[in-house]
Amino acid sequence: MIINKMKTEREILTNILQIRQYKRFTQKELGEYLGITEASYNRIESGKIALSYQHLTKIASFFKMSVVDVITYPETYAPSKSSANTKVVVEFDVSCDEFVKMGLKDKIVQVLNIKNNL
């Protein structure tokens, strides 16, 4: 079964805000962890600056959560006990330069090479 419930960037940012407040972290603490100013972090959290995948992964790490759990908050991902595979589709809006910078191109090529060798 595929559930097609795409989360918007705004919904993900709302989740980040709620998690941050629940865990009692400040914007300053997150900004320092990300290597940016508190003001820059505020602009990300408020949606004035786009949330990059790189920042999302670092924020999830800071919260000691998976990226999936941040996106689906307050629900958490629990692997199915069924033997059937579950297909999960995640869509990120990134430029070609960001795609290459994050190393995603190399990872996809590696996965495709593994699948071709099976």
| pLDDT > 90? residue 77 | no
Give the integer Cα–Cα distance in Å for 37 and 15: 21
Residue with tokens 């980040």: 16
Give the pTM.
0.64
Predicted confidence (pLDDT) per residue in 99-118, tens digit: 777 777 777 767 667 666 65
Domains with residue ranges and CATH for the chain? 9-72 (1.10.260.40)
Give the integer Cα–Cα distance in Å for 71 and 86: 17
The pLDDT value recorded for residue 1 is 39
DSSP 8-state assignment for residue 107 = H
Predicted confidence (pLDDT) per residue in 20-61, tens digit: 999 999 999 999 999 999 999 999 999 999 999 999 999 999
Q: Which residue has the higher pLDDT, 28 or 78?
A: 28
Give the integer Cα–Cα distance in Å for 20 and 27: 8
